[in-house]
Amino acid sequence: MAGSENGRGAAAVHTARHRADGTAARAGDYVWALVRISIGWVFLWAFLDKAFGWGFSTPADQAWIRGASPTTGYLKGTARKPLGAVFSPLAGYAWADWLFMIGLLGVGVALILGIGLRLTAVLGGLLLLLMWAAELPPEHNPFMDYRLLYTLVIVGLALINAGDTLGIGRWWGNTALVRRYPFLK
């Protein structure tokens, strides 16, 4: 008896979430697509502002294209944090600058286009977790901050194939490259 009740309950939930016209599912897909694009823009904007010094958080004279290091300010600011001895000495190294900037650009473009979300979840999550660790403890909470939230959301976006709506994720997933190397989906 309990099994049949559970079966009817699951069918009712399925029916409510997936109406015949698809409106409930479609609306949710669009919301998550907009979340994906928005977080992608946050990453892409950080890259552009640091690269070109457009003056929002990076003054023109501190632009990467003018020879400034995009990691120096952030990493030097972690010197007095508990893990500062690990992160602060990395400030200003060209390899750290390149990895950071490639990470910002790659995560931003992938999220906006809706491609490579599995790889983006891993690499973008790693970038965010390292930035979180460098800042421990966060300013307004013992451990939780936006970097952890972004990490969870990016992982969730990859799990629900959020790149298929308002993105080219479905096309990307059907390319020969991704069929051969599924981790690129």
74-111 pLDDT, tens digit per residue, is: 899 898 999 999 999 999 999 999 999 999 999 999 99
Do 122 and 129 touch, CB atoms closer than 8 A?
no
Q: How many CB atoms lie within 10 A of CB 66?
A: 12
Q: Rg of the chain's alpha carbons, rounded to an integer?
A: 20
pLDDT band at 56 (very low <50, low <70, confident <90, very high): confident
Helix (H, G, I), strand (E, B) or coil at 152: helix
Q: Could you tell me which of 151, 147, 111 has the C-alpha nearest to residue 132?
A: 147
Question: For position 22, what pLDDT does the model report?
Answer: 56
Share of the chain above pLDDT 70, in %: 86
